[in-house]
Amino acid sequence: MKELIDKFIDYLKYERNASPHTIREYRRDMQQFAKFLTPPGEQTLPLEQIDHRVIREYVGYMYDRKLDKASVARRLASMRTFFKYCVREKYVKRNPARLIATPKLPKRIPEIPTAEEMNGFLDDMARGKLTPTAKSHRHRRAAGANANILLKRDRAIVELLYAAGIRVSELVGLNLQDVDRSRQMLRVMGKGRKERVVPYGSKAQEALEAYWPIREQLLARRISRAKKSPEAVFLNSSGARLQDRSVHLLVRKYARLANANWNLHPHSLRHAFATHLLADGADLRAIQELLGHVSLSTTQRYTQASVKQLMDVYDKAHPHA
C-alpha cells in the first residue's frame, strides 16, 4: 500500500501539478486510511479486497474518533481520487469510494470585516498603532529593534492580500520577477499550477515601496543556519522565504492588537476582497478571473456574504425592519 500511495503522490505532483499543500493533505489522508487497513499484528488488507463496505466501516471509525463532517468529507474526497487513479492504472476494476455519500456540510457564510472596518484596520497599521506592548526592559529592546522592520513587512503582506485577493500560498510563493512595480501587477501561480496576472492598488504599492529597503536588511542578516532566499519577495527575520503558517500567525496577531472582534485569517482577506468588489458593482465573472476560480459557482459563494451584510444594514437602518 505504501508503494502505491507513493506512486499516487507522484501522479498528483507531476501530472496533476497539485500544490504542496494539496499533496500533503492527500498523503496524510491516504496514510491514515492505510493505517486503518492494517490492524495491529496483521497484514494490510489487499487493495482488491477493499470495497464500499470497508470504506463505510472506515467512515464509522472516523465518526467514532470524533472527526467533524468536514474532515470526513475531505478524506472521502481523497479516497475517491486515489481509487480513480487506481482504476486508471488498472490496479482495480472499479472505484468503491464513489458508492459512499459525502456528509452534508452546513453552509457557512464567512464573517468578514466591512470595507470601513478594513480601511480603519489598514490605516492603523500604516500609522504604526498596532504594535505589541513589551512587558520587560529586555523585551522592549528586542521589540524595538524589530518593530519597524516587521511592521513594514507585515503591512505590505496584509495590504497585498486584501488588494489583490491572492491566496496565502500564492503570496509566499511570489518572487521578485513576479512583481511589476510600474504597472502594479502580480504574476501568481495558483492551484493546479495555473498562472494568472492580478492588479493591486496604490495603498499596496505604497506599502511595498516601504518594504523593499526592509527586505534588503532581512536578506543581509547573517544567520548561518538560514537558507537565504534572494529571489523571494517576502522574507522571515532570518532572510529565508516566509512560510504560510507565519502569515496566518501575523494576520491573527494584528487583528488581536486591533481589538477587533473578527476571526481574521489570510483567507478572510481574500473573502473581503471579493465581497467588497461585488458590493461596489464589480462583475462576478471579473471577480472569478481575479480570484483564479475554475468554476463560477465557487465565486458565487461570496455573494452570500455580500447579501448578509446588506441584510444586516437593512435590519439596523430600516424603521420597519
Q: Which of 26, 58, 85, 302 is catalytic?
A: 302
Q: Which of 152, 270, 271, 276 is catalytic?
A: 270
Of the candidates 171, 197, 192, which has an alpha carbon nearest to the alpha carbon of residue 266? 171
CA distance linking residue 94 with residue 317, whole number of Å: 57
Of the candidates 220, 112, 93, 246, which has an alpha carbon nearest to the alpha carbon of residue 168? 246
Task: Tell me if residue 228 is catalytic.
Answer: no
Of the candidates 171, 259, 156, 169, which has an alpha carbon nearest to the alpha carbon of residue 209? 156
C-alpha cell at 183: 504597472
DSSP state of 47: G
Q: Which of 16, 84, 98, 191 is catalytic?
A: 191
Q: Which long-range contacts (CB under 8 A, 24 or more apart) does 302-305 make?
A: 302/271, 302/274, 302/275, 302/278, 303/278, 304/107, 304/109, 305/109, 305/110, 305/112, 305/271, 305/275
Task: Tell me if residue 137 is catalytic.
Answer: no
Q: Strands 195-199 and 179-180, how do they pair?
A: unpaired
CA distance linking residue 51 with residue 98, whole number of Å: 10
CA distance linking residue 90 with residue 263, whole number of Å: 46
Task: Tell me if residue 314 is catalytic.
Answer: no
Q: How long a stretch of residues is the chain? A: 321
Task: Tell me if residue 167 is catalytic.
Answer: yes
Task: Tell me if residue 191 is catalytic.
Answer: yes
Q: Which residues contact 50 (CB under 8 A, 6 or more apart)?
A: 37, 92, 96
Q: Which of 74, 267, 301, 308 is catalytic?
A: 267
CA distance linking residue 299 with residue 308, whole number of Å: 16
Task: Tell me if residue 293 is catalytic.
Answer: yes
Q: Which of 167, 215, 241, 271 is catalytic?
A: 167
- As annotated, the active-site residues are 167, 191, 267, 270, 293, 302
